[in-house]
Amino acid sequence: MVGTPVLFVAIPLLAAFLIPLFGMIWKESVRVIPGIVLAYLLVLAINLMNYVMVNGPIVEVIAGWAPPLGINLVFSAFSGFLVTLMVFLGLIVWMYSYRFKRNVDFEPAKKYFLLLMMLITGSVGMVLTGDIFNLFVFIEITSISAYALTAFYTGRDSAEASFKYLMLGSLASAFLLIAIMIIYSQLGTLNMADIGSKMHLMKPAYKIMAIIFLFTALGIEAEIFPLNGWAPDAYAEAPGPVGAAFAGIVVKAAIYASIRIIYTLFDLSGAYDLLIVIGMITLIVAETAAIRQEKLKRMLAYSSIGQMGLVMVAFGMGTEEGVFAALFLMFNHAIIKSLLFLSGSYLVYNSKDKLIKEVNGIGKFLPITSFLFVLGSFAIVGLPPFAGFWSKLSVLTAAADSNMLLIIALVLIVSIIEVVYYMRVVNRIYFFKKDESVSTQRPTLNALIAMITLGAIVLIVGFYPDAVTGFLHRASADLMDKAGYINDVLTLN
């Protein structure tokens, strides 16, 4: 073991406090330090992941107090997998935005990278933490970074989007605290494993109240319909890489939190059905809303919401196959949607309104970016042999094994809608005449490297899904093993 999970939080925080100091000495450091930190974290994550795959989960205590007392971090196959993914995406996003908007001044640039790093840290913290109040703190770290990043561009309507996000985010934190209070008042503890082990003692009425508020609070972050009013605006108005980070990192963390709560904390079977129903509604509403969008990033945002609905459905099946499918879907969505956001934002780089029709015929001018966007489109709608196919297949297989014919049919019908709007964009990119008034921007080298890396992963996973399925199987087994989780945490010294 080369490090401990706490470094995922400690190192970025330390770096965050250092950046202003270094920034006074060497201006470029504000861009470089986050990258170094993220690269280090990626190495750390891979090392820990290797360790975890062999030796089982790492439970780390903070401040030397054994779990029911102190806060603990759990780096298991499940959380570790997500952390690795998030840190990797964080590095990609950093790489993409390294030279992005060279006309942006030093001051905002400094803040941008700082906030981006903290966004990732907060998300990673959400995944790692084993304490429910600590979860709240990390959610807030993530949220505030997200508000600020959403409102990053002063010229646009980004403040409006950010404000909506903030309103709903505030409601989320209020609900989260109410739920925490109810649980605490009954069980006298905040540790998730401890709560999980004692949950059966709680009165069902309280349990239900708690899960309603927890589910709503995390649902707001996880973009569940009808709690996702903020999402399309925020995705669309945030800078492109931030949209990628939202889709690939923040939402994943929120989903992780809600799933961890439903699977490990509570023992209510109704919650699984609720997940399926809500997930399905989210999927349908989001995809149908996406088909009529006029703005590219907004369309991607709705698509992202829809995919999250599908993830919820898969988790709601409650079987190990379902969890595997959901995790595979999360992985693919993180990679592919990030690819789409990153390449998509170069497609509409100079455009003011980011309209879909402005990508007309751009394939000739930005061949690589366009190709990557098309690759992403093909992959996200689940066309083989790209990555998205395998996850869609596993979702459907899991649903078939749970005898959910209607779910299969609905998911497939919605997929057709998805196909339609992605293909419309693909058609525009390659087979329309370019509008003369639209100017294009060639991606910088760092952005290209970032996008090509993602594209390569899409292809590799498509042709060789075994590259990730091993981890995913371990991760899904890990999530299903509630007793093991509680045991690992509570029997520490």
Partner 1 sequence: MEDTLFKILDYGVYGTAVLVILIGLYGALVKRSLLKIVIGLSIIDSGINLLLVAIGYLKGGTAPIFSPGYLDNPKIMVDPIPQALVLTAIVIGFGVTAVALALVIRLYRHHGTLHIDEIRNLKW
Partner 2 sequence: MKKFVVILLLAVMGYYISITFFDIGFGDSHLVEGVVPVKDAYLNETVNSLNVANTVTSIVVNFRGFDTLGEVTVLFLAVTALGGILYKKRHQAGERSVLFSASKVVTSGSKLLFPAIVLLGAYVFIHGHLSPGGGFQGGVIIATGFLLMLLAYENFTVGHNTLSVIESLAGITFAGVGIWGLIYGGSFLENFLPVGTLNDLFSGGVIPIIYIAVGFKVAAELTGVIYTVLHEKG
Partner 3 sequence: METIFLIFILFLGGAIVTWMAGKLGNIVQDILFLATILVPSYLFYTNVATGYAIDFNVGGIELSWGINAFGWLFSLIVLGLGAFAAFYAVSFMKGKERRGAFYLNFILSIMAMLGILMSQDLISFFIFWEIMTWSSYIMVVYNGNDVQRIGIKYFVFSAIGAYAMLMAIVLIKSMTGSFMIESLISSYTSFSYDMQILIPVLLLTGFGVKAAIMPLHVWAPGAYSNAPMAYTSIFSGSLSKMGIYGMVIVFTTMLSYVPEGVWFRGVVAWLGGFTAVFGTLWAIKQDDAKKLLAYSSVAQLGYIIVGVAIGTPLAMMAGLFLAVMHAIFKGTLFMVVGAIERQTGTSNFTEVTGLIRKMPWTFVAALMSIIALAGIPPLGGFVGKWMLYESLITSDHYLLVIVIFFSSTAAFLYCYKFLFGFFLGQEEEEWAHVKEAPALMVVPMVILAGLTFLLGTYPGIILKPIANGMQTLGYGMTQGQLWDTSIILNEWGNQVVLQPILYAILGIFVFFVIFVTIKGYKNTRYVTTKDISSSGEVPLAHENLTFSQGFFQPFLRAVEPAMRRQIDKYYTAIANGLESLFDFTRRIYTGNGQTYAIFVIVFVVILLIFKNSIFG
**Separation between Cα atoms, residue 437 and residue 205, nearest integer Å:** 62
Number of other residues whose CB lies within 10 A of the CB of residue 157:
12
Site membership for partner 1, residue 167 (CB under 8 A): yes
177 binds, among partner 2, partner 3, partner 1, none (CB under 5 to 8 A by kind): partner 1
Smallest distance from partner 2 to CB 202, Å: 6
173 binds, among partner 1, partner 2, partner 3, none (CB under 5 to 8 A by kind): partner 1
**DSSP helix/strand/coil, 11:** helix
107 binds, among partner 3, partner 2, partner 1, none (CB under 5 to 8 A by kind): partner 2
Site membership for partner 1, residue 171 (CB under 8 A): yes
Helix axis angle for 204-221 and 251-260, nearest 10°, is 170
Site membership for partner 1, residue 153 (CB under 8 A): no
Contacting partner 3 within 239-278 (CB under 8 A): 268, 270-271, 273-274
Site membership for partner 2, residue 238 (CB under 8 A): no
Q: Which CB sits closer to partner 1, 232 or 248? A: 232
| Tokens (6 digits) for 460 | 């590799």
Site membership for partner 3, residue 403 (CB under 8 A): yes
CA nearest 319: which of 403, 196, 402? 402
CA nearest 299: which of 243, 226, 370? 243
Question: Which are the contacts of 54, defined by CB distance < 8 A and separation ≥ 6?
Answer: none
Give me the helices (H) in 263-351, please. Answer: 270-291, 296-316, 320-347
Distance set, CA 32 to CA 28, 38, 97, 468 (Å): 6, 10, 11, 30
**Separation between Cα atoms, residue 106 and residue 95, nearest integer Å:** 17
- By CB under 8 A, name the one of 25, 54, 55, 105 that touches partner 2: 105
Smallest distance from partner 1 to CB 420, Å: 18
Site track 37-66 with partner 2 (rule: CB under 8 A), x = hit: -----------------------xxxxxx-
**Separation between Cα atoms, residue 244 and residue 123, nearest integer Å:** 14
Stretch that binds partner 1, among 108-116, 173-181, 242-250, 444-452 (CB under 8 A): 173-181
Contacts of range 408-412, beta carbons closer than 8 Å, 24 or more positions apart: 410/280, 410/283, 410/284, 411/283, 411/310, 411/313
- By CB under 8 A, name the one of 181, 406, 416, 467 that touches partner 1: 181
| Tokens (6 digits) for 150 | 């959403």
Number of other residues whose CB lies within 10 A of the CB of residue 412:
12
Residue 330 phi/psi, 5-degree rounding, is -60, -45
- By CB under 8 A, name the one of 107, 353, 401, 435 that touches partner 3: 401
Smallest distance from partner 3 to CB 420, Å: 6
Type of residue found at 176: L
- By CB under 8 A, name the one of 78, 88, 96, 112 that touches partner 2: 112
Site track 261-290 with partner 1 (rule: CB under 8 A), x = hit: ----------------------------x-
Q: Which CB sits closer to partner 2, 189 or 391? A: 189
Smallest distance from partner 3 to CB 423, Å: 5
**Separation between Cα atoms, residue 115 and residue 354, nearest integer Å:** 24
Contacting partner 2 within 177-196 (CB under 8 A): 178, 182, 185-191, 194
Contacting partner 3 within 442-471 (CB under 8 A): 464-466, 469
237 binds, among partner 2, partner 1, partner 3, none (CB under 5 to 8 A by kind): partner 1
Contacting partner 1 within 187-226 (CB under 8 A): 190
Distance set, CA 442 to CA 112, 296, 345 (Å): 22, 18, 11
Site membership for partner 1, residue 163 (CB under 8 A): yes
Q: How many residues contact partner 1, by CB under 8 A?
A: 37
Task: Write out 331-400 in H/E/C secondary structure.
Answer: HHHHHHHHHHHHHHHHHCCCCCCCEHHHHCCHHHCCHHHHHHHHHHHHHHCCCCCCHHHHHHHHHHHHHH
- By CB under 8 A, name the one of 1, 69, 277, 405 that touches partner 2: 69
Binding site for partner 1 (CB under 8 A): 133, 137, 140, 143-144, 147-148, 151, 154, 157, 159-164, 166-167, 169-171, 173-174, 177-178, 180-181, 184-185, 190, 232-233, 236-237, 289, 292-293
- What residues make contact with partner 2 under the rule CB under 8 A? 4, 6, 9-10, 13-14, 16-21, 24, 60-65, 68-71, 105, 107-108, 111-112, 114-115, 118, 125, 131, 133-134, 137-138, 140-141, 144-145, 147-148, 151-152, 154, 159, 162, 178, 182, 185-191, 194, 198, 201-203, 205-206, 209
